[in-house]
């Protein structure tokens, strides 16, 4: 860190010497580079100060025996380094190496991850607590609403019907006694549950104390063995995490393929539905054509039978002689003339009948008028 600080005055002197030579654009570029480097150094020093403050706070707080055993060698090494650094600082300041910086950064990253993990656990615990409170409030609200409904149904209706009667007061007292009895039962259940939870708490505290005593009895060899096992478990966890990542990637690809096949299946289902509708229409059209074909076959059979009949008639038909045809024609003409003559006579008779009817009606009306004017008795 001090090497970078010692490099900056030389660069500033070079910039001061080359101000007359470099153009303004290059000077701006150098200023931006220096500001970027300074910001990086600032963040780095802040991180180192944060780590140093954590170490100081660890030195000041009281540690447990297990933590003192685990961190004794590390603190001794750090104290030796600090003493050597304080001795060397009179001559010249040393900067941290790249490996040390990397270790510090990794340690800071792990600490931040732990903090995030603890914050997430606390947030989840708070969320579960608030969800439990909301659920309890909802249950309580439903119970209160049910109790209000039962009270209105059982008590208020009877009291409204029988005001001032002894039955209404007895009903009210019975309801209050029942509610008190239910509350006593709930109180007894909660008391028993509280006692069982206290017993479980004592058991867990006893187990925790036993674990702490066992951890105090552990030696350095056991800690080394635990470290080795921890490293093995970390490797296994890393392998499982890699396998999980591969499985997630595979599941993502399978989900994409499944989505593609789902879309294809949906299209195929729509196509099958359309084809089924078209098949139904075609079947209906085919049935209609078959019915028309049967009707046409029947008509054709009828036409063939009629044609055969007409052919037979035509085959058995004989033309009469000419004189007979002329005679018949003359006879039909005479008959037509007589028909026309009789039709004319019928028309004349109808006209005369109409005139007679008119005259008869006129005479009938005049007679009625005369009878109305001169009655027969007078």
In tens, the pLDDT along 299-351 reads: 999 999 999 988 888 887 776 778 888 888 899 999 999 999 999 999 999 99
Q: Do the Cβ atoms of 176 and 182 come closer than 8 Å?
A: no
Q: Do the Cβ atoms of 168 and 159 come closer than 8 Å?
A: yes
The whole-angstrom separation of Cα 85 and Cα 93 is 8
Confidence of residue 7 (pLDDT cuts 50, 70, 90): very low
CA distances for 190 relative to 143, 163, 184, angstroms: 17, 39, 10
Token pair 């750090």 is found at: 78
The whole-angstrom separation of Cα 320 and Cα 11 is 145
The whole-angstrom separation of Cα 340 and Cα 294 is 51
Average pLDDT of the chain is 78
Question: Is the pLDDT assigned to residue 14 strictly greater than 50?
Answer: no
**What is the 3-state composition of the chain as percent helix, strand, coil, each rounded to the nearest 5?**
90, 0, 10
Using one digit for the tens of pLDDT, what is the confidence trace for 59-103? 555 444 444 444 455 545 555 554 554 444 444 445 667 777 777
Residue-level pLDDT at 70: 47
Q: Do the Cβ atoms of 104 and 51 come closer than 8 Å?
A: yes
Check residues 216 and 111 and name the one with the higher pLDDT: 111
Confidence of residue 219 (pLDDT cuts 50, 70, 90): low
**pTM given for the model:** 0.32
Confidence of residue 31 (pLDDT cuts 50, 70, 90): confident
Least confident residue range of 18-27, 107-116, 337-346 = 18-27
Residue 81 DSSP label: H
Confidence of residue 207 (pLDDT cuts 50, 70, 90): confident
Opening angle at CA 163, ends 160 and 167, nearest 5? 100
Number of C-beta neighbours around residue 255 at 10 A:
11
């Amino acid at each position: 860190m001090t090497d970078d600080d010692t490099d900056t005055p030389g660069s500033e002197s070079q910039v001061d010497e080359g101000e007359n030579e470099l153009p303004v654009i290059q000077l701006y570029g150098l200023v931006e580079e220096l500001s970027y480097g300074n910001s990086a150094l600032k963040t780095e020093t802040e991180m180192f100060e944060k780590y140093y403050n954590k170490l100081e706070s660890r030195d000041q707080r009281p540690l447990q025996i297990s933590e003192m055993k685990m961190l004794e060698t590390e603190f001794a090494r750090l104290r030796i380094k600090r003493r050597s650094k304080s001795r060397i600082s009179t001559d010249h300041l040393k900067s941290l190496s790249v490996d040390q910086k990397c270790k510090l950064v990794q340690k800071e990253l792990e600490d931040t991850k732990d903090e995030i993990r603890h914050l997430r656990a606390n947030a989840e615990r708070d969320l579960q607590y608030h969800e439990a409170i909301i659920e309890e409030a909802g249950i309580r609200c439903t119970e209160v609403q049910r109790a209000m409904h039962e009270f209105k149904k059982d008590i208020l209706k009877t009291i409204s019907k029988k005001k001032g009667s002894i039955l209404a007061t007895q009903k009210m007292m019975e309801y209050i006694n029942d509610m008190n009895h239910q509350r006593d039962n709930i109180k007894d259940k909660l008391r028993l549950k509280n006692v069982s939870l206290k017993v479980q708490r004592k058991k867990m505290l006893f187990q925790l104390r036993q674990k702490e005593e066992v951890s105090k009895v552990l030696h350095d060899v056991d800690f080394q063995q635990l470290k080795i096992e921890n490293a093995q478990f970390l490797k296994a966890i890393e392998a499982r995490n890699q396998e999980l990542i591969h499985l997630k990637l595979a599941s993502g690809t399978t989900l994409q393929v499944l989505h593609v096949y789902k879309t294809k299946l949906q299209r195929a289902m729509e196509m099958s539905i359309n084809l089924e509708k078209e098949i139904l229409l075609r079947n209906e059209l085919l049935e209609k054509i078959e019915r028309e074909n049967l009707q046409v076959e029947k008509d054709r059979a009828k036409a063939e039978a009629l044609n055969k009949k007409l052919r037979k008639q035509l085959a058995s038909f004989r033309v009469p002689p000419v004189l007979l045809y002329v005679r018949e024609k003359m006879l039909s003409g005479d008959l037509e003339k007589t028909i026309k003559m009789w039709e004319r006579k019928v028309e004349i008779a109808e006209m005369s009948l109409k005139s007679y009817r008119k005259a008869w009606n006129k005479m009938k009306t005049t007679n009625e008028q005369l009878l109305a004017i001169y009655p027969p008795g007078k």
